[in-house]
Structure 1
Amino acid sequence: MGTTAYERMLSVAVAALHERDPERLWPLLAAELPGLLGGDALIYKLDNWNESEGTLGLSPDADAEFAALGDEDMALLRAGYPLADHYAERADRAPVTARRVAGRSWSGSPTARLLDDLLDVDHVLGIPLPRSTTPITGCMVYRSGRDFTEDELRLAVQAQSLLAAVEQQRQLLRRLGTPSEEAAEVALTPRESTVLLLLGDALTALSIGRRLGISERTVHKHIANIYRKLGTHDRISTLLRAQRLGLVPTAAAGRP
């Protein structure tokens, strides 16, 4: 992975960690990843999606075009041919392109023709979340011209870690309580908020680090900052104060 690509990916990661609204995390990725991976547009699929419903988002460049699709074409697009079946049949979650999965039949498929008409793109790169199960969640990157190269596939493997971290952050942020007006003065960062939430799950610093992909030492730094901002000195008093401020759900604060 080149230095420029690494720096751009790091920039996206930093922006995601500072985002407080969980529903803005994947749109942030959708705006940045196509250019990072040599693509023109992107679709992401989350939660329990299928051909008719479920979370599906688009990169800004594709949003207007997809908004005009009819139900039949949208169902075709949501089906994710041939990548959905490819990943459903195996445990391997390595990024792969539609052409490598379907061979020559990809170009003549209804999905390929729809994408050509809609976005003038010829190729699709699937990047599932590393631990995704059926239905497969993650994103698909589209481009015109040549297929994605081996270097771009290796970069997509690196991007998987970013996707997984952002999705975990999104799920944790969605669990947080509705903060009170007083909570605004505490000014926890989004990362500190997620560490606080996992403290409420009775996890050790080591376990929190493993969940978030950070070191135990970094977790302890976050915990120290949380104690300082909340004016507390131990886990239980911290969680009780966080509960009163609406920073964590009652259930989480009550577990210890």
Structure 2
Amino acid sequence: MELSNGSALVTGGAGGFGAATVRRLVAAGAKVVIADMSQEKGEALADELGDAVRFVKTDVTNERSVLDALAAAQELGPLRVAVAVHGGPVAGARIVNRSGEAYPVDAFRRTVEVFLTGTFIVLSRAAQAMAGNEPLDSGQRGVVITTASIAGFEGQVGQSDYSAAKGGVIGMNLTAARDLAPLGVRVMCIAPGTFFTPAYGMEEAEAQAKWGPGVPNPKRMGHADEYARLAVHIAENDYLNGEVIRIDGAQRF
């Protein structure tokens, strides 16, 4: 799919994966809305990239907020790409800890709300917007790229909420692709492994030394730009549809 002369929405667009994806989409010729809760980071990225982007403060769990961000993207051009790569609550603790305390239901519910329900809101409302596009010569109107995690396949201790949410994103992918096929809207999902982002709260060298050796090959944490390059390739390759792509250096927990 040709990205120039069209627009894109990236939720979590001011974060590590998101900012890298915004840069790659702009380089491919798209106009991009940076949809994020962090106004400071979002505006800084918008200032850096200039007229090709707009920042819109966006809460993915709020349908009206997502619709506003989509409307902003459509003002820049026909919406061709939506990437849901927003962050959210950090996985907390075991379902029952050593003290016999159960994991709070409200914490579980909030994680699922952000990562699964928020992704559904972005996916469904972006697809609705794309349905109004004139089809390209390929017959395509747009593509939605969601973000899972290898934790959706192989969750670790203390990740019940995060694994459940990301597993839900994985499970939704093929159904969504089939639902939206008559509209010419593709749906793909990326499942990253151990990637370095600012969310680690430490210098990259320290993080690489701690987690990099656990990755088979290449023996390092992933870089956000490697996610972004994959996202842009998915957008441009019309025959990628309904699949979850692990990008994890062959890591299995």
TM-score range, shorter chain: under 0.3
Higher strand share: 2
TM-score, structure 1 as length reference? 0.26
Q: Decide which structure has the larger Cα Rg and report it.
A: 1
The structure in which a higher percent of residues are helix is 1
TM-score with structure 2 setting the length? 0.26
